[in-house]
């Protein structure tokens, strides 16, 4: 008889700090809470690192302890973050890897009260399973209005003339400007802000084109803007306004090479990010007259150095990153981010998640019981792997009566990853870090969707999890094709195990499970049942799957309590039992 070795190393309760789903059927997650069911804490703490509008603070205070600590040094932030469940920042705080490391796993959400998330290390956030949300819409108009304000102020030398007059100089001839009407404006980055700038510039009588490799032509058409290639945009423009995010591909997008291609005397507005312009190249272009003027709200380093040649240049108009700084926009972003952070802390999926898939609420609601099934099947499968074998290749099959294209499996795949990894490590897995964690551990998960006869009501008929290239401590779990195989389905809202290796069983996935392989003969159920009964272990379910009468059979026994080691040994000693394994769900 080949009794399975003790499973105690697998029985460590998984960390529930920020999981994807509540695995206990008795506490089934409400559908909207699938992504981040969080550990029960009395009241979470939200650290607000930069000034946030009052209405947003009020909203936060209804749900959390709010710690407003403006002007923190990076060291202060790292110290405070260990006591915080959420962090809210604007563009002035660098949320880098050391912040996530210092949080020691407590930080669950970073809220960016604005659009640009280039000050947040998204890779580090994802690796630490920390959700990042932003407030992408409330400051759009403010930023667009500021671009228009800067463009008009630059064209008419408002800032320079103002400074001169205040210094006692009445210089009407020096500050002759240029008109906006009839001029060509090239908008680079035709997203939310770029589109609003386009609308306003058209109202001022400008000819507007835009360059954006990802923008929809239909939207551009609706606004009456032609989408053109980059070189065409910059070589024909009298004014260029920048509205793309700072990413590796937009970093220093305007540089010596591009300035060599612009129309001489072009005027540049930047309300996006300083880093999209090579600032030294811009100074050279201004000095040579290739660029007549620039109006800048943003800088590569903020605040820029006091002796910055760019800031002090007489043809440059500057503001200290004021694009989003209107009363209205700040109230708007404060409410938008407070709602997003509270939602995330409550375990809801966020519509403004930056580093997690957005799964529509109706999809989540339908998938809720399958989310639990997926995690439990993976949890069982990994416990069946022979000690030290490791898991490298996992195949998941979703069988559905519906067209395979109708099934969004991202949440299910994340739960499979969670079920595979959490029983054998101290890592916690959620929708944010599932793919990263699987990759980091070298686990390749392939998915297959098969269409079978089934009811249209249920999205999935069964889920099968197969671990390839791994020996099993319960060899009967290995199918004829050589993989450790478990499959299950949802019955009356409860996940059931229906297949182990080549054997059909039917046991609800609650509590824990003992799998035994035995010679099919009368009295087996009673024999195992009475050993468990002696130990006061309650049996919730028993199911026997056999190849043929009186040949080999697999018995799946659901138990409410974890049997003592001696009880398991006694089961192993029942003569007809050939192998058995205890699996914790």
Ligand X SMILES: O=C(O)C(=O)COP(=O)(O)O
- Work out whether 352 is an interface residue with ligand X (CB under 6 A): no
> Which of ligand NAI, ligand X, none is residue 191 near (CB under 5 to 8 Å by kind)?
ligand NAI
496 is catalytic: no
> Which of ligand X, ligand NAI, none is residue 347 near (CB under 5 to 8 Å by kind)?
none
The catalytic position among 106, 273, 379, 489 is 273
Least Å distance, CB 74 to ligand X, is 17
The catalytic position among 75, 231, 302, 448 is 302
> Which of ligand NAI, ligand X, none is residue 189 near (CB under 5 to 8 Å by kind)?
ligand NAI
Of 113-121, 407-415, 461-469, 479-487, the segment contacting ligand X by CB under 6 A is 113-121
Residues ≥6 apart with Cβ < 8 Å to 582:
4, 7, 512, 513, 514, 562, 563, 568
Which of residues 4, 47, 115, 276 is near ligand X by CB under 6 A? 115
- Count of Cβ atoms closer than 10 Å to residue 28 Cβ: 17
**Between 298 and 463, CB nearer to ligand NAI:** 298
SS3 527: helix
From its phi and psi, is residue 205 left (phi > 0), alpha (psi between -120 and 50) or beta? left
217-276: contacts with ligand X (CB under 6 A): none
**Between 91 and 485, CB nearer to ligand X:** 91
> Which of ligand X, ligand NAI, none is residue 90 near (CB under 5 to 8 Å by kind)?
ligand X
Which of residues 34, 37, 77, 90 is near ligand X by CB under 6 A? 90
Could you give the CA distance from residue 465 to residue 408 in angstroms, rounded to a whole number? 17
Could you give the CA distance from residue 170 to residue 189 in angstroms, rounded to a whole number? 39
- Work out whether 139 is an interface residue with ligand X (CB under 6 A): yes
Could you give the CA distance from residue 252 to residue 439 in angstroms, rounded to a whole number? 31
**Strands 291-296 and 184-188, bridge-based pairing:** unpaired
Of 111-119, 211-219, 232-240, 515-523, the segment contacting ligand X by CB under 6 A is 111-119
Q: Which helix or strand (DSSP H or E) is residue 416 part of?
A: helix 410-421
- Count of Cβ atoms closer than 10 Å to residue 359 Cβ: 18
Least Å distance, CB 257 to ligand NAI, is 15
Least Å distance, CB 151 to ligand X, is 18
101 is catalytic: no
Q: Which of 462, 476, 554, 541 is nearest to 509 (CA)?
A: 541
**Between 195 and 512, CB nearer to ligand X:** 195
Which of residues 7, 35, 91, 270 is near ligand X by CB under 6 A? 91
**Between 170 and 214, CB nearer to ligand NAI:** 214
> Which of ligand NAI, ligand X, none is residue 244 near (CB under 5 to 8 Å by kind)?
ligand NAI
Residue closest to ligand X (Cβ): 114
> Which of ligand NAI, ligand X, none is residue 193 near (CB under 5 to 8 Å by kind)?
ligand NAI
> Which of ligand X, ligand NAI, none is residue 192 near (CB under 5 to 8 Å by kind)?
ligand NAI
Least Å distance, CB 228 to ligand NAI, is 11
Q: Which residues pair with 270 in a beta bridge?
A: 242, 296
Residues binding ligand NAI (CB under 6 A): 115-116, 136, 139-140, 143, 188-194, 211-215, 243-246, 249-250, 271-273, 297-298, 321, 323-324
Q: What is the largest CA-CA distance in the chain?
A: 110
- Work out whether 93 is an interface residue with ligand X (CB under 6 A): no
Least Å distance, CB 315 to ligand NAI, is 20
Q: To which residue do tokens 């949802």 refer?
A: 490
**Between 77 and 438, CB nearer to ligand X:** 77
Q: Which residues pair with 112 in a beta bridge?
A: 89, 134
Q: Which of 122, 142, 271 is nearest to 196 (CA)?
A: 142
320-349: contacts with ligand X (CB under 6 A): 321, 323-325
- Whether the CB-CB separation of 485 and 501 falls below 8 Å is answered with yes
118-137: contacts with ligand X (CB under 6 A): none
Number of H-type helices and E-type strands within the chain: 18, 25
Residue 156 C-alpha from the chain's centroid: 45
**Between 282 and 298, CB nearer to ligand NAI:** 298
> Which of ligand X, ligand NAI, none is residue 543 near (CB under 5 to 8 Å by kind)?
none
- Whether the CB-CB separation of 254 and 282 falls below 8 Å is answered with yes
**Between 273 and 413, CB nearer to ligand NAI:** 273
**Between 332 and 347, CB nearer to ligand X:** 332
- Whether the CB-CB separation of 363 and 32 falls below 8 Å is answered with no
Could you give the CA distance from residue 469 to residue 385 in angstroms, rounded to a whole number? 10
Q: To which residue do tokens 């297959």 refer?
A: 448
Q: Which residues pair with 464 in a beta bridge?
A: 397, 487
273 is catalytic: yes
- The DSSP line for 239-293 is EEEE-----TTTTT-B-HHHHTTSPTTEEEEE-S-GGGB-HHHHHHHHHTTSEEE
- Whether the CB-CB separation of 512 and 584 falls below 8 Å is answered with yes
Binding site for ligand X (CB under 6 A): 90-92, 113-116, 139, 321, 323-325
Please give the positions annotated as active site: 273, 302, 321
């Amino acid at each position: 008889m080949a009794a399975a070795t003790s499973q105690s190393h697998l029985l460590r309760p998984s960390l529930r700090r920020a999981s994807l789903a509540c695995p206990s059927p008795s506490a089934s997650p409400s559908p909207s809470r699938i992504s981040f069911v969080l550990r029960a804490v009395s009241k979470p703490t939200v650290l607000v690192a930069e000034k946030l509008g009052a209405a947003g603070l009020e909203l936060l205070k209804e749900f959390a302890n709010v710690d407003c600590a403006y002007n923190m040094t990076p060291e202060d932030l790292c110290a405070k973050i260990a006591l915080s469940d959420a962090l809210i920042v604007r563009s002035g705080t660098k949320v880098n890897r050391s912040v996530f490391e210092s949080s020691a796993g407590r930080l669950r959400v970073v809220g960016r009260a604005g659009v640009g998330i280039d000050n947040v290390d998204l890779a580090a956030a994802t690796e630490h399973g920390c959700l990042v949300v932003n407030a992408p819409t409330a400051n759009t108009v403010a930023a667009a209005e500021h671009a228009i304000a800067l463009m008009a102020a630059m064209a008419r030398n408002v800032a320079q003339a103002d400074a001169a007059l205040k210094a006692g100089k009445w210089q009407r001839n020096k500050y002759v400007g240029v008109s906006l009407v009839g001029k060509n404006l090239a908008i680079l980055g035709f997203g939310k802000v770029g589109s609003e700038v386009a609308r306003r510039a058209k109202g001022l009588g400008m000819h507007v084109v835009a360059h954006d490799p990802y923008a929809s032509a239909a939207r551009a058409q609706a606004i009456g803007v032609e989408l053109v290639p980059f070189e065409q945009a910059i070589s024909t423009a009298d004014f260029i306004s920048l509205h793309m995010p700072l990413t590796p591909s937009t970093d220093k997008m305007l540089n010596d090479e591009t300035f060599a291609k612009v129309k001489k005397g072009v005027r540049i507005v930047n309300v996006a990010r300083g880093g999209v312009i090579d600032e030294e190249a811009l100074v050279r272009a201004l000095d040579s007259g290739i660029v007549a003027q620039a109006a800048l709200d943003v800088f590569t380093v903020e605040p820029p150095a006091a002796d910055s040649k760019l800031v002090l240049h007489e043809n440059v108009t500057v503001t200290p990153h004021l694009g989003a700084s209107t009363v209205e926009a700040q109230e708007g972003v404060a409410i938008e981010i407070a709602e997003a952070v509270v939602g995330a802390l409550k375990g809801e999926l966020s519509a403004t998640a930056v580093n997690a898939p957005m799964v529509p609420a109706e999809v989540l609601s339908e998938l809720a019981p399958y989310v639990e099934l997926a995690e439990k099947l993976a949890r069982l499968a990994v416990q069946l792997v022979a000690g030290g074998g490791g898991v490298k290749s996992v195949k998941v099959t979703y069988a559905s009566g519906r067209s395979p294209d109708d099934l969004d499996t991202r949440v299910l795949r994340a739960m499979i990853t969670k079920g595979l990894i959490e029983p054998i490590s101290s890592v916690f897995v959620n929708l944010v870090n599932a793919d990263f964690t699987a990759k980091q551990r070298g686990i390749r998960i392939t998915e297959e969707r098969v269409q079978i006869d089934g009811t249209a009501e249920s999205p999935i008929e069964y889920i099968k999890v197969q671990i390839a290239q791994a020996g099993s401590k319960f060899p009967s779990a290995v199918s004829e094709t050589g993989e450790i195989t478990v499959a299950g389905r949802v019955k009356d809202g409860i996940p059931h195990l229906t297949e182990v290796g080549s054997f059909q069983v039917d046991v609800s996935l609650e509590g824990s499970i003992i799998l035994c392989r035995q010679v099919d003969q009368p009295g087996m159920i009673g024999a195992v049942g009475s050993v468990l009964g002696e130990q006061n272990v309650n049996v919730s379910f028993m199911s026997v799957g056999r190849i043929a009468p009186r040949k080999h059979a697999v018995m799946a026994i659901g138990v409410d309590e974890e049997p003592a080691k001696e009880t398991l040994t006694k089961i192993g000693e029942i003569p007809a039992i050939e192998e058995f394994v205890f699996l914790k769900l």
